Amino acid sequence: MAKRDTSCSEETGMTWQVRANCQHFHKPLGRKSFLCFRWGRYADNLVRSYKYSPLTFLPLTLYEQFQRAANFFFLLIVVMQCVPLIATLPWYITMLPLLTVLIMRGAKDLLTDLGRRRSDAKINRRPCDILTTQGFTAAQWKDVCVGDILRIHKDQVIPADLLLLCSTEPHSLCYVETADIDGETNLKFRQAPAITHDELTSGPIEELLLPFDGVVWCEEPNGRLYLFRGELHWRGQSHLLDIEHMLLRGTVLRNTDTVYGLVIYTGSDSKILRNCGSLKVKKTWMERFLNKVVVTIVVCLLTVALLLAVGCGLFEHWVGSKIEVLAAIRGSYSPAYRGFLNFWGYIILLSPAMPISLYITFELIHVVHCLQIGWDIKMYWEENEKPAQARTTSLNEELGQVGHLLSDKTGTLTQNRLIFRQCCIAGHIYGDITAKTKPLDLSWNRFSCGGLQFSDQRLVDRLLQRNCPETLEFFTALALCHTVMSEWKDGLPRYQAASPDEEALVCAARELGWVFLSRTRDSLTVSELGFTLHYHLLAVLDFSSKRRRMFVLVRTPDGGLKLYCKGADVIILERLRKGSPHQESTEQALEAFAQSCLRTLCVAVRCVSEAQWMEWSHALSQAAMATTHRETMLEEVYEQMEKELTMLGVTAIEDRLQEGVPETISSLRQAGVKVWVLTGDKTETAVNVGYACKLMDPDTRLLQGEELRQLLQSPTTEVSFHKDKESLVWSTDKMSQKSKAAIVVDGFELAELTKTPEMGGRFVALSNQCQSVLCCRVTPAQKAEVVELVKKNSSSVTMAIGDGANDVNMIKTAHIGVGLCGVEGGQAVQNADFALAQFSFLRRLLLVHGRWSYRRICSFLRYFLYKTTCFALVHIWYSLYNGFSAQPMYESWFIALYTVMYTSLPVQCLGIFEQDISAESSLNRPELYRVGQKQELFNPLILCGTLLYSIYTSIILFFIPVGVLQSLDLDYQTLAVTVEMSAVFSATLEEHH
């Protein structure tokens, strides 16, 4: 290893220094805090997800509460009510409902925060072992500091980001479960640097760790989960470190007795907490519109108060000055000043028209709707005991307004339980997906675990005869080119894979005689038809959604060097050497597999000379040590090796549709929801799956390639619906055509078609008039870009649904994100707004719960605004009889209790239980869902009608009692009680109506 002066670390960007067993260096630089102020370099390891302390709870919660416009408005009303000159109501009339709102919200925040604090305390008290001068001593997570050396036992959660120094496993390997980081439940291996493994395992490990004084220079804390750059300086040498040497906080140690690690990042500096970020609160269209309504009501209130104040001034000038009693009451105040005072008085008097309890009731109804979703037994999946779950309480009504559904395919529409069904090797296709699966004769294979659904004995016979080198090489590649972990149970190997594809391929190779046995840092052990062989592992680059391929470079038992590669067909085909045999027959097999809706991967090999290996290894080392453009340089080095490949064959894996997917998509299409499927599969596979799941009709015309490009680019093209609403009509200067259409676009074409806002707008406009859209060969980043494209060029609510970590960006970008509890872990669910166990439950979630929530929320809002405005507007008509003096019509306590007590229960029942039709009728008549998409139940026109009706009701409430009682010898209180009772009865009866 090259020696390196630590003073040069700043030049490389590695400025984070960690000294092992040197707390006198780190402790003075520890991060400290007081209230909102923090200073220091190294964070402590305390988990702090709570927001408040006993000292900050009251000021912080009041600050948050009064950031809401309604609360701040009523605070001003309370202040004005304390001014005797303008107070028309006692201060407690408004203070009572305001305090109720503040206390309820504050209590909710406090309970939530106490729950977080209890959860944090449990985490902070988790046990761990820290090395001290006396050896390892028991401690807690909160005591962990940068530079400590920890001992982690099997099944313990890693408390901080650690550099793995050594383990009790051979070659200092260890296995970790990363479900809390990437959502994948499959195990991954990590390995200590060679230098620490060699030195620390040469004797008693814990005794050798006591004098360990290595220094790590690495990058500053960041949120890049899959990247780490650092150097270990020890005994005068520097050793490169990468992410494979790191154990990240939140991962769980599995299948390994004990590991020892050096703490690099703690607490808020750890990579998992750096990824938490700030919570983005999603607001619905209805909530945003409601805020505008409230502002409008306030503006109208101010306008009416101003008009009544002008009326007061005119009345005082023309009438009051001529009547001795009124002149005495007015005193020395001028009419203008009297009107000015009454302006503020009327603001106080009319303030109940702006409903302060609206938001609390709104939130309560949302919570109950979420509970109803979780309680629905028809969205409970017994197989994994997963009920439906609403992970947010603010998006319920938007479930009834979804216009675009953007769905992943694998694991979302399909089961993601992959079966090896066919393969093509050296131009020959093996297996028949249409035939019944016949059990193969595998009695010769002592490692067979069963479960292989493959029906071609010819392949087994050819393997046993060893007369086809390409076939032998093909299965050697499947047994070596992966990152699978092996675990032995009952004398048989069981596999933990990072993806279902890898597991299916390695299991198929095992059943057919190529058994992956174990791996170490630099070797792979495989049993090939009963002969155990050891391959020296020189380099491996794992599969990624960006590269869409992986390779392993090994030294074979006979001393040769070979590169095995597997990946997407378009990626592998363009890297084949000229004249590669069987290329044409392989491409034909790819088309045939795609027609059968099978997922395909190409497998290739390259023989590498010693000179090529030495040159490439040197270039790789140089790129790995680069300080700038490191990732680009590494990619260029990889490209140098991944060329001149020889095609071995193609694997074909079946991924069956989930139960109920075709019926669900068909119902959603009838409901007016535009369904887009975003997949990484090739076009032919995606199209056939589209037909199978009823995304498209059998007679649907596919718009793709050059025809689609012409439709989007030609300024003379006009696209419109045919009158049957099922066919698309487009016309140009030369033609006029009509057909049912669906758009199919490749990921490579998508970037070109949407590179300008104008093209993106035309693309979305065209897609809105088609049956559906299939986006093939798209990356996770492109999925999020497509969702953003639809949001920008369409006013409809977008919903994204997926099951894997690669769907997270898409789920977070959409208005509503749905995560499926699939086999790829829980990352999609953790980032989703709603969680389901099966895609088919989406039908009930939208057509039943979504539609009900939309209708209930709309009815609730209309009724709430109606009952508060008609109640408050009575004061306007009463002003015509009291000389615009801003006297209240009602008793003080009635004003305080009208909304929070007398009329609270009916509106809550309306928002929680109202149903126009049953759940079964909603499912049988999906076209009723279009009401929400068109916003027919709550829009400016409906709102204006509601407010006009409330004005009409207020006129009736006031003038009929006045007309009846004015000729009777009754006092003012009788009139007030009559109007009060009329208001309560009218509001209650209107709710039933």
Identify the pLDDT of residue 327: 61
Banded model confidence at residue 435, pLDDT cuts 50, 70, 90: low
* Mean pLDDT of the 100-110 span: 82
Banded model confidence at residue 830, pLDDT cuts 50, 70, 90: confident
Helix (H, G, I), strand (E, B) or coil at 167: strand
Identify the pLDDT of residue 281: 61
Q: What is the pLDDT of residues 463-508, one digit of tens each?
A: 999 888 999 999 999 999 988 888 888 888 888 776 778 889 999 9
Q: What is the pLDDT of residues 72-96, one digit of tens each?
A: 888 888 888 888 878 777 777 777 7
**Main-chain dihedrals φ then ψ at residue 434, nearest 5 degrees:** -85, -20
Sequence-separated (6 or more) residues with CB below 8 Å from residue 886:
88, 308, 312, 342, 345, 346, 349, 879
Identify the pLDDT of residue 177: 83
Average pLDDT, the chain: 85
Q: What is the pLDDT of residues 911-960, one digit of tens each?
A: 898 888 999 999 999 999 999 999 999 889 998 999 999 999 999 999 99
Identify the pLDDT of residue 498: 66
Asked whether the predicted pLDDT for residue 726 surpasses 70, the reply is no
How many residues are present in the chain? 993
* Number of alpha carbons in the 13 Å side-chain half-sphere of residue 907: 28
Asked whether the predicted pLDDT for residue 115 surpasses 60, the reply is yes
The answer to whether the beta carbons of residues 252 and 158 sit under 8 Å apart is yes
d(CA 568, CA 586) in angstroms, rounded, equals: 13
Asked whether the predicted pLDDT for residue 152 surpasses 80, the reply is yes
In Å, the largest CA–CA distance within the chain is: 123
- Between 904-913 and 972-992, two packed helices, what is the crossing angle to 10 degrees? 10
Banded model confidence at residue 231, pLDDT cuts 50, 70, 90: very high
Identify the pLDDT of residue 1: 37
d(CA 366, CA 873) in angstroms, rounded, equals: 29
Catalytic (active site) residue 408? yes
Sequence-separated (6 or more) residues with CB below 8 Å from residue 760:
753, 754, 789, 792, 793
* Mean pLDDT of the 395-422 span: 89
Banded model confidence at residue 325, pLDDT cuts 50, 70, 90: low
* Mean pLDDT of the 896-909 span: 84
More confident residue, 287 or 215: 215
Q: Which of 435, 582, 453, 585 is nearest to 507 (CA)?
A: 453
Identify the pLDDT of residue 759: 85
Sequence-separated (6 or more) residues with CB below 8 Å from residue 558:
none
* Mean pLDDT of the 616-641 span: 83
Banded model confidence at residue 62, pLDDT cuts 50, 70, 90: confident
d(CA 942, CA 861) in angstroms, rounded, equals: 11
Asked whether the predicted pLDDT for residue 615 surpasses 70, the reply is yes
More confident residue, 663 or 753: 663
The answer to whether the beta carbons of residues 802 and 835 sit under 8 Å apart is no
Q: Model pTM?
A: 0.74
* Mean pLDDT of the 607-616 span: 94
Asked whether the predicted pLDDT for residue 6 surpasses 50, the reply is no
Asked whether the predicted pLDDT for residue 319 surpasses 80, the reply is no
Asked whether the predicted pLDDT for residue 361 surpasses 60, the reply is yes
Identify the pLDDT of residue 800: 94
CA dihedral 870, 876, 878, 882 (to 10 degrees): 160
* Mean pLDDT of the 360-379 span: 90
Identify the pLDDT of residue 732: 44
Banded model confidence at residue 324, pLDDT cuts 50, 70, 90: low
Asked whether the predicted pLDDT for residue 723 surpasses 50, the reply is no
Asked whether the predicted pLDDT for residue 439 surpasses 80, the reply is no
Which one of 381-395, 824-838, 865-879, 960-974 scores highest in mean pLDDT?
Answer: 865-879
Question: Which one from 113, 161, 269, 408 is the annotated catalytic residue?
Answer: 408
- Report how far apart, in Å, the C-alpha atoms of 211 and of each of 131, 205, 208 are: 11, 11, 6
* Mean pLDDT of the 199-220 span: 92
Identify the pLDDT of residue 721: 46
Asked whether the predicted pLDDT for residue 631 surpasses 80, the reply is no
Helix (H, G, I), strand (E, B) or coil at 508: helix
Identify the pLDDT of residue 773: 92
DSSP codes of every residue in 891-930: -HHHHHHIIIIITHHHHHHHHHH--SS-HHHHHH-GGGGH
Identify the pLDDT of residue 36: 60
* Mean pLDDT of the 973-977 span: 88
Banded model confidence at residue 291, pLDDT cuts 50, 70, 90: confident
Q: What percent of the chain has pLDDT over 70?
A: 90
Helix (H, G, I), strand (E, B) or coil at 248: coil
Asked whether the predicted pLDDT for residue 535 surpasses 90, the reply is yes
Identify the pLDDT of residue 733: 41
The answer to whether the beta carbons of residues 89 and 80 sit under 8 Å apart is no
Asked whether the predicted pLDDT for residue 614 surpasses 90, the reply is yes
Identify the pLDDT of residue 328: 61
The answer to whether the beta carbons of residues 174 and 190 sit under 8 Å apart is yes
Identify the pLDDT of residue 736: 41
For the ranges 104-118, 520-534, 924-938, which has the lowest average pLDDT?
104-118
Q: What percent of the chain has pLDDT over 90?
A: 36
- Report how far apart, in Å, the C-alpha atoms of 993 and of each of 83, 613, 863, 945 are: 42, 83, 10, 16
- DSSP 8-state assignment for residue 155: T
* Mean pLDDT of the 302-325 span: 82
CA dihedral 482, 485, 490, 491 (to 10 degrees): 60
* Mean pLDDT of the 327-353 span: 79
Banded model confidence at residue 734, pLDDT cuts 50, 70, 90: very low
Helix (H, G, I), strand (E, B) or coil at 884: coil
Which one of 104-113, 296-305, 608-617 scores highest in mean pLDDT?
Answer: 608-617
Identify the pLDDT of residue 441: 82
Asked whether the predicted pLDDT for residue 620 surpasses 90, the reply is no
